[in-house]
Structure 1
Amino acid sequence: MFLWFHLTGQVNSFGLPVSAHGRRFYVTSPRDHLCGGLKFDILDFTCCEGVWHKGAALSCCGNRAFNLTQSSCCEGRLTLNVSQLVSDCCGYRAYDPLNQLCCDSQILTRTRPHVKCCGKELYNEDHQLCCGNVIKGRKVLTKMSIHHQCCGDNQFDQQSHCCCLVSQPSYKLIPEPLNASCCAPAIQKALQPPPVQTARRISQRSTNCMPGEKPCGQGSCFNPTTERCCVNPTSRQGQRYSRDQTYSEGTLSHTPGHHHGASCGSQVYNPDIKICCSGKLSNRVLGKNLCCGTTPYGVEDRGVLCCNQTLHHVVENGYQCSPGGHLYLPSREMVCGSHVHLNDPGKHCCGEETYDPQDEICCNGHKHHMLGNVSCCGGKAYDPSSGQMKCCAGTLYNLQVQDRISEEAQCCGSVLMEAGSIQTCCSAPGLDLLYPTQPGFTCCGHRYPNASLWSCCAGVLHPRPEPHNTSKNMIPGPRLLPLGGLKTEVLCHTEVLLGTVESVSVKMNERSIVMLNTMSVQASRGHVNALPSPHYVTLPNHCSSPELVPGNTYIWVKIPFSDTIRLISDLLDHSSPLHSILSRCSTFFLPREKPYTMF
């Protein structure tokens, strides 16, 4: 049986479950770029309650900044090495509910996939009972049979005993034989059929509507066959009208046999003589059958233009509405975001400003001077061929400051992994999380479960019925890495496939993949060879292979002189995958060769 272990209530854009309490920490620095009354650079700093912190787009825990893929915030305190996206809070400490439980404010390690708390202990409800109470304390008892249940601190067999409250010498629960007098109420209750309430009765009781009626806003009902319901959008109060009521010159009247009434907010009106625009009634004028906000207008009206539900009166032809709803004249102006600029030949938009693409590069709404082989990393520009900088999912790191060389620097999402550290990066489509390496644990998508409790197939967790010996691990499939995680000698000096996944299917234990727009790339020679489309790739072990998303583009690295796929790189963050590969390998182009050739 397949089970998606859904621990939390939120999902990301790829359908991955993330922590329900992690969502509110996505809000980072204020948009006005002011921190404590002083202006700061959002590309380098984060502002938390008026305090500056080095690092862009971080989350805030009080006045402290943190990366929610590496830490968690509980009651204003930080817990390191537990991502906010997969954690829960146990008081002021965070824990991973996949491998741990919070029992009476203590964090305990799971011993089974579905164990539960019994005070400060764990128990398995299939074989154990949690008896006692909160005041006197709870204790774990081994079930004597499937028919045994708790009775105070003890257990009893429901087939032969019942649980009685004895007042002498002190109030306590004790098991008694079924023929005891105290068992009579329990037996009588067990013999009674459970009360039956249909959804219709519950609905009628909750709304207090008569049979045949439906709710009309708050506190009102109406008969849908003879009446009309109008609800005020502000107060949510409803008002009922007879279906033969209509408005005549603004006066409510009865017109037997005519059903011309329409609703505008909480009002009933005659659409032949009135027009309703955003809840406001106006007299109908011939030709004015369109609404701009609350104002009616006609398509043939001269000198008017509706932008973002605001009606503008223009004195010159040619005005247009920008996608953001701003009025502008294209022959003299251009709109960048919410700013209207005078036209400057050759200029284009970069965020709210204009830039010249001949001399500048636009990175995520920020413009920079174009120097050498410059590329974007988030809102910053850098030279990827220099080996001095490393881009991790939009976050730029200076390797000289980190005392690192480019080949050993590895990314896990937006985080640069520590040199020589014992860290494990677990990846799923659109989400990469870093965990401290633990023996017996293995990645399953973006989670890092205890392999003795959970098995994994293509990123989906399955509970193991019994603890499992993980000494015989199955052969791992190809690893999913970001483009920056591929070593230069692999990316530039071997033949790789570049293609977009169209569909994925599973036959037996193999995964078959159909790819479109597939190319064979040997970047160091600048060779790009278009392959027949569609192109097929087979991964021999479906369960141990990473999840692939149809529509995403990937790099496929084969073992030399073999068809076996060794590495897969997701190019989701790269708008021009081929350019990203060739620009990184440009220093290895052979002399006098063109950057690349298509044949």
Structure 2
Amino acid sequence: MEIYTPTACVVTILYIFATSSAQEICHHDRGNHCKVGFSGRMESCHHLHRCGNVSYKISGSSCCNDNITLGLSQLVADCCGSVAYNPLNEICCNGRILTRSSTNVKCCGKDMYLTTTHVCCGGNNILQRKENHACCGKEMFDVTTHCCCANPELEVKPKNEACCPKATDEGKFQQVSPHTRTIPKNSDLDECGTETYNPREQICCSGKPHKKESSLTKCCGVDAYTLSDDNVLCCNGILHINVPEHSECVGGVIYSPENTTCQMLTRPRLGEHCCGRQTFNPHTHICCNGHSHSKKNGNFCCGSEVYDHHNKFLRCCSGHLYNLTHLHEITECCGNLLLQYNNNQTCCSSSTNSIIYQTKPNHRCCGHYYYNTSLWSCCAEHLKPTPKPNSSPAEYRLKPLMDLIPEMCNETVFFGKVESVALKNDQRHVVLKVVGQVDVKSEKVIKDPWLHVSLDHCSSPATENNMTYLWEQNHNGKYKLLSHPVDLTSDIHMFYFVCYQKKG
């Protein structure tokens, strides 16, 4: 293994190795850690949530009206009465969970209807959409010849009737959707910036409340939008309206077919090393997230625990230690969860979440969402309400850096910082600054610290400017993105230390 060091950062890493104090790198272990058995039972964790009288973890279950739904994370679920459902592929209509036939469906009573072809009148009557027609109670009328009078029941009358509103008053008589409800003044209210809001009816976006049109309503900075909205694009926290179809957000720039223009409590004595609130001897102990352990039990950290990485019955997933019962079972980390392929499970992950779903036909991952390909399409981890039958799915998913060890220590990999990106002909062109390389073959060492990488835009995971990732150079000379964004001050140090120790 050869260490390529084009920057002072990596030189510092090697200096840490030489001083034999690299074990202190475990101080940088981040996150909330639990020790979890292979069965998924939580042995010790401070971040369980309560659902009625039962404890549960939101990464694998949901709570609705004090009832737990297993197998669907609360991070992507919504409630339909006491049952959780996936709003991407399903819709809840008066307590009934229905499979979406389109992204443009809404509820009308207990049934759903397609908003592009039908309307819902009176809260439960679905009628064919007609030009210049509107609802009046449960029926429709031609607004050019008639009006809707309330005397006292809603009734269609000719426009010359006295009950018809004057032209100047028409704005006052706009019909309110039967699904619109007033926010009740009760304990359900929460704070959103300087205002109060009802989380059941509204969504809080960076301190500003918005009406929640449906379960697909999401935040984009201080604004809100619905995933099924056409010609709307959220780009780096800014909501853009009326953008051309097939537009993409790449590196904070909107690209479209028509326009490609860039728019500590005690003080330690001299020589002592700190580990949480205590001191430790780095020659005999290792510090894991503020907890000191004897090196006899292992010299790798997994959250606050220590383990022997040679023990094949132990698996560390993002700071959570699992005890495997059978070596022949094929497992893989999905964030801090353990994915079991024999349980017909699929892992969908993004840089923010990793979620396990039950595998379904015609479903694919888009970041940490699991979507029906007949309803949505995915491009660079962004969902769009325009299904594309011939679209190429992402061939792989990114993983946390430490989940790629030790196999990546024997591959031609390097750390590259994304300096800028551009989109052209469905290709994402990325300018990378190489900040460190691990290479087993000296002839493949990257001499130029600046690389120009081309990726298939839609089938490749999203990249962010100024973020550093682990990359691989394939045998054919092409480059592949491997990891989630990494921390230059901790993750890279640990990666080099582990690979360095493995070589030794």
Please tell me whether residue 387 in structure 1 is matched to residue 312 in structure 2.
Answer: yes
Structure 2 length normalisation: TM-score? Answer: 0.66
Query: Offset at 1:519?
Result: 4.2
> Which residue among 535, 538, 546 is the counterpart of 2:451?
535
Q: Does 1:120 align with 2:110?
A: yes
The answer for the alignment partner of 1:26 in structure 2 is none
Alpha-carbon separation, structure 2, partners of 1:414 and 1:142: 49
1:175 to 150, 156, 161: 156
| 1:56 counterpart residue number | 45
SS class of match (2:131): coil
Q: RMSD in angstroms over aligned alpha carbons?
A: 3.3
Secondary structure of 2:369 counterpart? coil
1:370 corresponds to: 295
Q: Pairwise mapping of residues 87-236 of structure 1 onto structure 2 (< 5 A)?
A: 87-133=77-123, 138-143=124-129, 145-164=130-149, 173-179=154-160, 183-186=161-164, 188-192=165-169
The amino acid across from 1:480 in the alignment is L
SS at match of 2:167: helix
Give per-residue Cα distances to partners, 1:516-555, cap 9 Å, x unaligned. 23444335x799946421223221x111110123444322
1:349-393 superposed Cα distances (whole Å, 9 cap, x missing partner): 211222222221111111111238611111111122333321111
The one of the two structures with greater contact order (alpha-carbon pairs below 8 A, sep at least 6) is 2
Task: Note the 1:262-341 alignment, pairs <5 A.
Answer: 336=264, 339-340=265-266
Paired position in structure 2 for 1:73: 63
Instruction: State the shift of 1:455 in Å.
Output: 1.6
Question: What is the Cα deviation at residue 190 of structure 1?
Answer: 2.9
Question: Residue 351 of structure 1 aligns with which residue?
Answer: 276
- 3-state SS of 1:433 partner: strand
**CA–CA separation in structure 2 for the residues paired with 1:462 and 1:373:** 47
> Displacement of 1:416 after TM fit?
0.6
Distance 1:176 1:53 in 2: 65
Distance, in Å, in 2 between the alignment partners of 1:573 and 1:474 is 31
- Deviations along 1:172-231, one digit per CA (max 9) or x if unpaired, are 54434335xxx3321x42344768xxxxxxxxxxxxxxxxxxxxxxxxxxxxxxxxxxxx
Q: Relative to 1, partners in 2 of residues 1:100 and 1:152: Cα closer, same or farther, differing over 3 Å? A: same
Post-superposition shift, 1:405?
5.2
CA contact 1:58–1:66 (8 Å) conserved in 2? no
Structure 1 residue runs without a partner (length 5+): 1-41, 47-51, 196-335, 590-594
Is residue 440 from structure 1 mapped to residue 356 from structure 2 by the alignment?
A: no
SS in 2 for 1:452: coil
User: Which segments of 5 or more consecutive residues in structure 2 lack a partner in the other structure?
Assistant: 1-32, 173-263
SS at match of 2:76: coil
User: Of the two, which has the highest radius of gyration?
Assistant: 1
Q: Is the 8 A contact 1:571 1:577 kept in 2?
A: no
Equivalent-residue separation in structure 2 for 1:117 and 1:424 (angstroms): 30
One-letter code of the match for 1:156?
A: F
1:545 aligns with 2:460: yes
Given that 1:517 and 1:534 are in contact with CA atoms closer than 8 Å, whether structure 2 keeps it comes out as yes
The number of residues matched between the two structures is: 376
Aligned-partner SS, 1:479? coil
Q: Secondary structure at the match of 1:397?
A: strand
- Please state how far the C-alpha of 1:146 moved relative to its aligned partner: 1.9
2:401 and 2:491 in contact (8 A); partners too: no
Deviations 1:90-127 (A, max 9, x none): 22222222222222122222222132111101122332
User: 1:482 maps to what in 2?
Assistant: 400
Query: Conserved in 2, the CA contact under 8 Å of 1:479 and 1:566?
Result: no
CA distance in 1, matches of 2:483, 2:443: 19
Aligned to 2:430, the other structure's residue is in SS state strand
- AA of the residue aligned to 1:424: T
CA spacing shift, 1:194–1:94, aligned 2, 3 Å: closer
Does residue 322 of structure 2 align to residue 404 of structure 1?
Answer: no
Distance in 2 of aligned mates of 1:475 and 1:120? 34
Identity of aligned residues (%): 36
Separation in structure 2 between the aligned mates of residue 535 and residue 94 of structure 1, nearest angstrom: 46
Q: Does 1:554 align with 2:476?
A: no
Q: CA deviation at 1:158?
A: 1.3
1:491 aligns with 2:469: no
Match of 1:572 in 2: 486
Other-structure match for 1:361: 286
TM-score with structure 1 setting the length = 0.56
Residue 202 (structure 1) aligns with = none
Q: 8 Å contact 2:402–2:495 — kept in the other structure?
A: no
